[in-house]
Chain A
């Protein structure tokens, strides 16, 4: 150190003789001035080394000791910190680039963490002490292996409820499901859950206004017409009125008194929010099973059961006791000797997150966002590396001055961490903005309320930022402290950059490859969606609307219901834009009926596995035109196929092929077993093309046939109205109003697009395409920024070479192509490596795809073209800039 100081002093003496002389003069003048003051007794003791400062000796001793103990290092840290901040402020463009990159990469991860935290790591909100609450399921053996079933019979629930030594509370529920509220023009729907037992007490949720249900109200033998509503429904339906308690609510035709409003935090046991809770015993049309026998019906499995374990009782002990006391699983008396199924307790968190397609996608996207973070780290490492190389002269000087390598690395780490933390803060802003978007796309209609940026998200973000900072800083820090830097100093920084670019190239290739993988992921999901859309479904999904209402028992007679539908159809036909409308019992993609049939006097139908029963649609003649299902042979149905005429049917192509292979089905005959008196024959008059029965993806076509309403055995009041319209979405509300006005006492009429019935099925693909697309776009931006900055850096390192070339007569376009070509080569390697990633990792997404191979060549080639294109653009800008150098200026400056 002394040598350096002496050198510095000497330098100043040499170069600043005059300044030095001025300094000395000033010093002597001050001395004289102070001396005069001293002699006249006017000198402030502040000017001198006073007694207090003499004591300072001791402080100093203490400091030495502290430093030895490592305590004084805080001072050094804060010094380093100030230094880093100053360094970063000196190059705002670089700092902004790094912070932005980190903000995107970390922000995506924070968002995904928020999602996963909400749905997989936390119990539903508003449940007290959720660790003690379990869902009771039971283990069953299936061909595919053991799994657990959630639903059980009411007697089973009643047995668990009686185990007061095991559980402090047990509740059964069914729902949430849509139920009609009010009637006529004011009708609407609400998500309704029917409950039994101590539902609110078991979950530990208490009403904010009013009260929860009493034991009597939910008792299966008594039951009272009372309702508890959610805070959201209270706001929507009652405008948050304070006198809501005691008001009437008509649910599915029965009138209930509102007795309580739950707090906003409690929206039920499930992700799907509940608006209205009703006692099961007082909800005749919402409960399951035969009328009045459901409480003792052991055969019908329809209830989910939750229980709160008694305090101090271990879950396993509770489970064993519960298993011993459970006899109602035994449906038939002769099963008594069989081994009882095992009850299994599942935590509220696990029970909630099982089996929703969103979770599989969320998990996948979570994994993908980690990939994005890796891309980000690679990019930031690259930027740091480029910067440290451009600063290598400064670093070399520092090393020469005796700054230890460790301290130098500390400095670089601190700089990276400062950047990472700034990136983390920016990432929180990104998350704040993106969480609502993800919530809206991924979890529309769920009970997940507001997601504030809580401690967990902030903590996670900080952690990720620190890890990202350390990872990104590791490579450049190690390289920068390389002893060979001294040689660099000697070389004057003329080359060095070129032979050291291998690390950077590897980083660029890595991020490009991951970018290809992410974009390919998006491409595969989009391709799946395309393939699904391109399928021939045998019905016009985009054009058809399903209109219907709950025709509950006792409120309207079957004849009234049918009349209402006929009238509804007449009115619907009057709406401009409606092309045709048909009544139908059985709705494709929603619900169908089936009966055993007899062909040629035989129960077992040749060509069909035993027990297979075809599905029947009872329709009006316009059905085929409305649905867009083509008649491929014979005729469709006609008005003349009425109750007095000979019964006829139109069968599906597949049904014809399976039952009458190789021959024309026209004129063939089959019988429906339940028709009394059994008709001689239902003769086949036409063949309709195959159409989807359940969903978009069916392993084999459905075996189905069509008859007129009058000739079919189906009950007419189970009908729905199918409407074909030019633009179904636009006329949805008109249709609802017109249909609702058909009868003054009509319950809520639901208008659904046929497309909506399969929306849930499409969700995983849509989600996958969207999320991969978003993350892929982010990765592309990050990779482009990376390619840009690296090219920029390389170009700046090669200024001399470029100027010599220009001086020797190279044209600008040659320089540009030289630079761009190099970037392209790197990008091509990225494409190859990325393609390899896709091929290897493809099987993880293969199950989520539809008729699309993870190695889909067109997807891969498009993605690669996108990456190459973006690379060209990213490299073009610095290349053009480089080609415009003034060789004379550059060569002079070096």
Chain B
């Protein structure tokens, strides 16, 4: 498979992917998404508000997630995000891309 360069912002792209991946588990509000990513990565990946909500907004705009206001289990008014079908497709593509990039990086790192 020929190597093609990663397009766009790698970091921003990764966050999108992580958010989408998290949302495949079910509908969630922003804080739950952040907590999930942080706890699964053993707090290696920190998700800051400043990047999380713009990222969600971006996903909304691209139609990969939808959002709606509803009561949380503890009775708070929260904005819940749901992944759409095109979001899932996007996630698949990103995940494949990610695997390819990670393999490429690993190869480079081992060689050095």
Interface membership of B73, Cβ < 8 A? yes
Q: How far is the CA of A38 from the CA of B39 in the complex (A)?
A: 12
Query: A17-67: which have CB < 8 Å to B?
Result: 23-24, 26-28, 30-35, 38, 44, 46-49, 53-54, 56-57, 60
Contact B84 A49 (CB under 8 A): no
Q: How far is the CA of A30 from the CA of B72 in the complex (A)?
A: 11
Q: How far is the CA of A263 from the CA of B25 in the complex (A)?
A: 68
B79 partner residues in chain A, CB cutoff 8 A: 23, 26-27, 30
Which of chain A's residues has its CB closest to B86's CB? A2
Contact A30 B84 (CB under 8 A): no
Query: B77-105: which have CB < 8 Å to A?
Result: 77-79, 84-86
A interface residues, how many (CB within 8 angstroms): 31
Contact A6 B73 (CB under 8 A): no
Q: How far is the CA of A5 from the CA of B26 in the complex (A)?
A: 19
Query: A240-256: which have CB < 8 Å to B?
Result: none
Q: A34-B31, A49-B36 are in contact. Are A1 and B76 (CB under 8 A)?
A: no
Distance of B55 from chain A, by nearest CB (Å)? 12
Q: Which of B22, B25, B36, B74 has the most CB of A within 10 A?
A: B25
Q: Which of A4, A27, A34, A60 has the most CB of B within 10 A?
A: A27
Interface membership of A3, Cβ < 8 A? yes
Q: How far is the CA of A30 from the CA of B69 in the complex (A)?
A: 12
Contact B26 A49 (CB under 8 A): yes
Contact A6 B26 (CB under 8 A): no
Q: A49-B22, A49-B36 are in contact. Are A28 and B66 (CB under 8 A)?
A: no
Interface membership of B63, Cβ < 8 A? yes
Query: A254-282: which have CB < 8 Å to B?
Result: none
A13 partner residues in chain B, CB cutoff 8 A: 61
Which of chain A's residues has its CB closest to B28's CB? A49
Q: A1-B63, A9-B61, A27-B79 are in contact. Are A49 and B74 (CB under 8 A)?
A: no
Contact A48 B36 (CB under 8 A): yes
A-B contact count (CB 8 A): 85
Which of chain B's residues has its CB closest to A20's CB? B57
Distance of B88 from chain A, by nearest CB (Å)? 10
Which of chain B's residues has its CB closest to A33's CB? B76
A10 partner residues in chain B, CB cutoff 8 A: 61
Contact A2 B64 (CB under 8 A): yes
Contact A24 B26 (CB under 8 A): no
Q: A4-B63, A31-B31, A31-B49 are in contact. Are A44 and B86 (CB under 8 A)?
A: no
B15 partner residues in chain A, CB cutoff 8 A: none
Partner of A5, one of B34, B63, B69, B76: B63
Distance of A28 from chain B, by nearest CB (Å)? 6
Which of chain B's residues has its CB closest to A12's CB? B60
Q: A49-B26, A49-B32 are in contact. Are A9 and B60 (CB under 8 A)?
A: yes
Q: How far is the CA of A13 from the CA of B32 in the complex (A)?
A: 25
Q: Which of A6, A32, A38 has the most CB of B within 10 A?
A: A6
Contact A57 B30 (CB under 8 A): no
B60 partner residues in chain A, CB cutoff 8 A: 9
B73 partner residues in chain A, CB cutoff 8 A: 44, 46-47
Contact B77 A26 (CB under 8 A): yes
Partner of B29, one of A2, A30, A35, A53: A30
Contact B25 A54 (CB under 8 A): yes
Distance of A867 from chain B, by nearest CB (Å)? 55
Interface membership of B70, Cβ < 8 A? no
Contact A47 B30 (CB under 8 A): no
A9 partner residues in chain B, CB cutoff 8 A: 60-61, 63
A27 partner residues in chain B, CB cutoff 8 A: 29-30, 53, 78-79
Which of chain A's residues has its CB closest to B61's CB? A9
Q: How far is the CA of A38 from the CA of B29 in the complex (A)?
A: 15
B interface residues, how many (CB within 8 angstroms): 34
Distance of B45 from chain A, by nearest CB (Å)? 15
Q: How far is the CA of A9 from the CA of B67 in the complex (A)?
A: 10
Q: How far is the CA of A233 from the CA of B15 in the complex (A)?
A: 90
Contact B35 A2 (CB under 8 A): no
Q: A1-B63, A2-B62 are in contact. Are A47 and B53 (CB under 8 A)?
A: no
Q: A34-B31, A35-B31, A49-B36 are in contact. Are A5 and B84 (CB under 8 A)?
A: yes
A60 partner residues in chain B, CB cutoff 8 A: 24, 26
Distance of B107 from chain A, by nearest CB (Å)? 30
Query: A92-124: which have CB < 8 Å to B?
Result: none
Contact B61 A49 (CB under 8 A): no
Distance of B40 from chain A, by nearest CB (Å)? 9
Q: How far is the CA of A758 from the CA of B24 in the complex (A)?
A: 84
Q: How far is the CA of A631 from the CA of B93 in the complex (A)?
A: 112
Q: How far is the CA of A34 from the CA of B49 in the complex (A)?
A: 12
Contact A1 B35 (CB under 8 A): no
Contact B62 A49 (CB under 8 A): no
Contact B77 A2 (CB under 8 A): no
Contact A49 B25 (CB under 8 A): yes
Distance of A496 from chain B, by nearest CB (Å)? 32
Distance of B80 from chain A, by nearest CB (Å)? 11
B64 partner residues in chain A, CB cutoff 8 A: 2
Contact A28 B49 (CB under 8 A): yes
B49 partner residues in chain A, CB cutoff 8 A: 28, 31-32
Q: A24-B53, A26-B79 are in contact. Are A6 and B28 (CB under 8 A)?
A: no
Which of chain B's residues has its CB closest to A45's CB? B73
A30 partner residues in chain B, CB cutoff 8 A: 29-31, 76-79
Contact A5 B24 (CB under 8 A): no
Distance of A241 from chain B, by nearest CB (Å)? 71
Contact B24 A28 (CB under 8 A): no
B33 partner residues in chain A, CB cutoff 8 A: 49
A31 partner residues in chain B, CB cutoff 8 A: 30-31, 34, 49, 52-53
B25 partner residues in chain A, CB cutoff 8 A: 49, 53-54, 56-57
When each residue 651-695 of chain A gets 1 if its CB lies under 8 Å from chain B and 0 otherwise, what string results? 000000000000000000000000000000000000000000000
Contact B63 A47 (CB under 8 A): no
Distance of B111 from chain A, by nearest CB (Å)? 36
Which of chain B's residues has its CB closest to A32's CB? B49
Q: How far is the CA of A34 from the CA of B72 in the complex (A)?
A: 12
Which of chain A's residues has its CB closest to B74's CB? A44
B26 partner residues in chain A, CB cutoff 8 A: 49, 53, 56, 60
Q: How far is the CA of A2 from the CA of B61 in the complex (A)?
A: 9
Which of chain A's residues has its CB closest to B36's CB? A49
When each residue 39-53 of chain B gets 1 if its CB lies under 8 Å from chain A and 0 otherwise, what string results? 000000000010011
Q: Which of A5, A32, A38 has the most CB of B within 10 A?
A: A5
Contact B74 A1 (CB under 8 A): no
Distance of B24 from chain A, by nearest CB (Å)? 7
Q: How far is the CA of A13 from the CA of B67 in the complex (A)?
A: 14
Which of chain A's residues has its CB closest to B79's CB? A27
Q: How far is the CA of A30 from the CA of B75 in the complex (A)?
A: 12
Distance of B34 from chain A, by nearest CB (Å)? 8
Distance of A101 from chain B, by nearest CB (Å)? 40
Q: A23-B79, A31-B31, A35-B31 are in contact. Are A5 and B66 (CB under 8 A)?
A: yes
Contact B31 A1 (CB under 8 A): no
Q: How far is the CA of A31 from the CA of B47 in the complex (A)?
A: 12
Q: How far is the CA of A33 from the CA of B76 in the complex (A)?
A: 10
Distance of B94 from chain A, by nearest CB (Å)? 15
Contact B63 A2 (CB under 8 A): yes
B74 partner residues in chain A, CB cutoff 8 A: 44, 46-47
Contact A47 B24 (CB under 8 A): no
A54 partner residues in chain B, CB cutoff 8 A: 25
B34 partner residues in chain A, CB cutoff 8 A: 31
Q: A23-B79, A38-B35 are in contact. Are A28 and B63 (CB under 8 A)?
A: no
Distance of A888 from chain B, by nearest CB (Å)? 42
A46 partner residues in chain B, CB cutoff 8 A: 72-74
Which of chain B's residues has its CB closest to A60's CB? B24
5 pairs, CB–CB < 8 Å, chain A vs chain B: A2-B86, A27-B53, A30-B77, A31-B52, A57-B25
**3 closest pairs, A vs B, by CB?**
A5-B63, A2-B86, A2-B63
- A27-B30, A28-B49 known; 20 new pairs, CB 8 Å cut-off, are A2-B64, A5-B66, A5-B84, A6-B61, A9-B60, A9-B61, A13-B61, A23-B69, A26-B77, A28-B53, A30-B29, A30-B31, A30-B76, A30-B77, A31-B49, A31-B52, A38-B35, A44-B74, A47-B72, A49-B25
